[in-house]
Structure 1
Amino acid sequence: MTEAISQPHRPDPVPAPLKGERDLFTKFDPLIQQRRELLESGLADPFAMVMEKVLSPVTAICNGRETILLGTYNYMGMTFDPDVIAAGKTALEDFGSGTTGSRVLNGTYAVHRDVEEALREFYGMDHAMVFSTGYQANLGIISTIAGKGDYIVLDIDSHASIWDGCALGQAEVVPFKHNDIEAMEKRLKRIPAEAGKLVILEGVYSMLGDVAPLQEMVKVAKANGAMVLVDEAHSMGFIGPNGRGVAEDVGVIDDVDFIVGTFSKSVGTVGGFCVSNHPKFDIMRLVCRPYVFTASLPPSVVATAATSIRKLMHAADKRAHLWANSRRLHAGLQELGFQLGTKTPQSAIIAVLMPDLERGAAMWNALLREGLYVNLARPPATPANVTLLRCSLCAEHTQEQVSDILEMFEKAGKAVGII
């Protein structure tokens, strides 16, 4: 097997629009030019990497060589769990490859009801609603419960799906500085008392891996008459005594009105969900457009999700091992001299800050040559205009692999001049 990085696809030259014609792609020209310059420097495209074969939750064949995966959201390593795979195979044989319909028509099978029951069991909530993706869960729930005339108060670093849900629902959006309790409270107090108010927070923020001060924020929201939605996409499965996320960990899960999450991270498949104790929540199945007008998930997908969720209820040992991995990698990278996104490990995400996009891309390429895959994240997806390498640890990473990862970072960092 070769260690060479395959040559990336070179984008074609951008033709100039004809005189008098409006080119709808003109607004993307700066990004196209930036990407072209990056590839012309001889680097592989960090946003077009292909895994030729996945060997396990933490290894794959990339560019012809075995590579450690440190850039997936497979936090609990459930993608190759034998029980999860067996459940998917059985459902595929029993129900076929897909439903070809919406949940409100012909798209609800027994396995869809079962995965919602698994979510109710996992969270101890009265209601659970499953969407085809985590993006659609935020898009659907937010746009339906907060509409024109209502107010949404949200963290400025919220995920794109949250912002898009706000836009779709046409509520008045009031952002506040990241994790700033005082700023959130000031904005809530300016909203008319009689208006509908929704505060949206995330348990773990996906770029830096930092945790929200949910205990204080939920208290402030409730004191000001707001409902609270918490996106626990990056904390479900391993944060909290039972893996229910940051809200459980800080003791406010019973005060949160809606918890949104995804199956594409700790659960190890695809799909999104919302759980709630609100007595009227079930009406959402008839009024939430991204739920009503989308084909339901294939039976094999929801069967794997249900099995995985039930196993996560009893995954204390995996959670402990993942935390040990996070603490060790965070401390090791700090000792090597890398600048990290958080002073202490707060989640399974460790962000390694880069001086700029060019050196970030060079570092990404150097790590891939060493046999390590991470995520290169760039503005506008990242906060404060920062370029970073995002490391997402897995409960299946061994101690030896963490040692190897640190050695790879040291070699690549010195080669590129980051450390």
Structure 2
Amino acid sequence: MTDLFSKFDALIAQREGLLATGVKDPFSLVMEEVKSPTVAVVNGKETILLGTYNYMGMTFDDDVIAAGKQALDEFGAGTTGSRVLNGTFQGHKECEDALKEFYGMDHAMVFSTGYQANLGIISTIAGKGDYIILDIDSHASIYDGCKMGDAEIVAFRHNDVEALEKRLKRLPADAGKLVVLEGVYSMLGDVAPLKEMIRVSKEAGAMILVDEAHSMGFIGENGRGVAEEQGVLDDVDFVIGTFSKSVGTVGGFCVSNHPKFEIMRLVCRPYVFTASLPPAVVACSAASIRKLMHNGNKRAHLWENSRNLHQGLRDLGFKLGTPDAQSAIIAVIMPDLEKGAMMWAALLENGLYVNLARPPATPAGMTLLRCSLCAEHSSEQVADILSRFERAGKAVGII
């Protein structure tokens, strides 16, 4: 009998080899207590959090928590149903209204996760006979949406406008075309040249979807993302986002101005056949989104943190994923997986948690430590983070 797990043997051996060195498993870390957006207790030790995507620090906001508690009392723990049956509560509509106001768009659809938003929207819009043109470094949820919809996938070199244009010109003029881009790419934290990419996509008659998961809340004058920052938000057909980053909860969404968009509620399978988000979650999300509209000072402080950490790490001699601070993500490139795991463990021992990222999640097969900054990190914490990186880097021999 064929062992269906045998395809994972190489990965199992790699993991066992890593753990045999004495390094704790980087992918099964448990936070015993979370004290704030920036501090938790891990392995019995108070630890600075630098790998949570809690960009705007909304997880402990008083108004957000109060909204969730009220919804829990008034609507109960869950919906026990899909959005199109019994799973749409007043809170879901209020959350979608908050999104429409936040983006200044006509339509908003809330999903149970961000992954599901990409899976549902992409697979429903582009099907057999259509073409999806995407950046080679696109998120797994984007690739899975393409596969589920059965459209033809055409990938182009990361952030390469010329490569995108060449791919588009080779496609049949009358075919359905969807260009899928991301504002900020989650591994290196680099920003896409959306303005030029959207221009060539429009010239080729394609529709455009931009995933702003890692830019919503803090990039752009109103926190609407890279498309807003580059002045092309009105040219985007669909914006996908998630609540598990700047909003500080869980869930996903799509906003659009397309006049036929509401039919998606009846034809999008991951939306139709999944139970909706619990009342407390949508209430927290709506409260958070409304506060993010007026968070210019927090956005400015987050940018200050990002620039200071990027410059400080570079000055210490670390190799970084971008030449300057482009987002709230700063990637520290490691020589290999073993050194990366050792560095991750040394940082954790020093009371600092970051993400260890490895292939196939990372581009070009690299191993990296991904740092996600928060608007609630104080300037003193950023200085402290740098000193912990210096100690760990010297102990492991990275710097």
TM-score (norm 1): 0.95
Q: Which string of whole-angstrom CA distances, capped at 9 and with x for unpartnered residues, describes residues 177-228 of structure 1?
A: 0000000000001110010000000000000000000000000000000000
Query: Unmatched 5+ residue regions in structure 2?
Result: none
Equivalenced residue count is 399
Task: Tell me the secondary structure at the aligned position of residue 230 of structure 1.
Answer: strand
Measured in 1, the distance between the counterparts of 2:315 and 2:81 equals 53
Counterpart of 1:195 in structure 2 is: 175
Q: Which string of whole-angstrom CA distances, capped at 9 and with x for unpartnered residues, describes residues 287-334 of structure 1?
A: 000000000000000000000000000000000000000000000000
Measured in 1, the distance between the counterparts of 2:184 and 2:177 equals 22
**Alignment counterpart, residue 124 of structure 2, candidates 120, 144, 156:** 144
RMSD over aligned Cα, in angstroms? 0.3
Residue type at the aligned position of 2:304: A
**Alignment counterpart, residue 37 of structure 2, candidates 54, 57, 61:** 57
User: In the alignment, does 2:262 pair up with 1:259?
Assistant: no
Q: Percent identity?
A: 77
Residue type at the aligned position of 1:376: L
Counterpart of 2:138 in structure 1 is: 158
Note the 1:227-376 alignment, pairs <5 A.
227-376=207-356
Q: Which string of whole-angstrom CA distances, capped at 9 and with x for unpartnered residues, describes residues 335-391 of structure 1?
A: 000000000000000000000000000000000000000000000000000000000
Deviation, structure 1 residue 396: 0.1
Measured in 1, the distance between the counterparts of 2:15 and 2:45 equals 25
Counterpart of 2:201 in structure 1 is: 221
Query: Unmatched 5+ residue regions in structure 1?
Result: 1-20
Runs of 4+ in 1 over 2 A off after TM superposition: none
Measured in 2, the distance between the counterparts of 1:56 and 1:266 equals 15
User: In the alignment, does 2:365 pair up with 1:385?
Assistant: yes
Counterpart of 2:81 in structure 1 is: 101
Deviation, structure 1 residue 409: 0.3
**Alignment counterpart, residue 159 of structure 2, candidates 179, 200, 203:** 179
Task: Tell me the secondary structure at the aligned position of residue 56 of structure 1.
Answer: coil
Residue type at the aligned position of 1:137: A
Measured in 1, the distance between the counterparts of 2:194 and 2:174 equals 25
Measured in 2, the distance between the counterparts of 1:42 and 1:210 equals 33
Task: Tell me the secondary structure at the aligned position of residue 414 of structure 1.
Answer: helix
Task: Tell me the secondary structure at the aligned position of residue 264 of structure 1.
Answer: coil
Measured in 2, the distance between the counterparts of 1:149 and 1:92 equals 45
Measured in 1, the distance between the counterparts of 2:195 and 2:160 equals 13
Task: Tell me the secondary structure at the aligned position of residue 104 of structure 1.
Answer: coil
Measured in 2, the distance between the counterparts of 1:297 and 1:266 equals 18
Measured in 2, the distance between the counterparts of 1:244 and 1:72 equals 20
Measured in 2, the distance between the counterparts of 1:100 and 1:152 equals 34
Task: Tell me the secondary structure at the aligned position of residue 178 of structure 1.
Answer: coil
Measured in 2, the distance between the counterparts of 1:246 and 1:40 equals 43
Counterpart of 2:91 in structure 1 is: 111
Deviation, structure 1 residue 57: 0.2
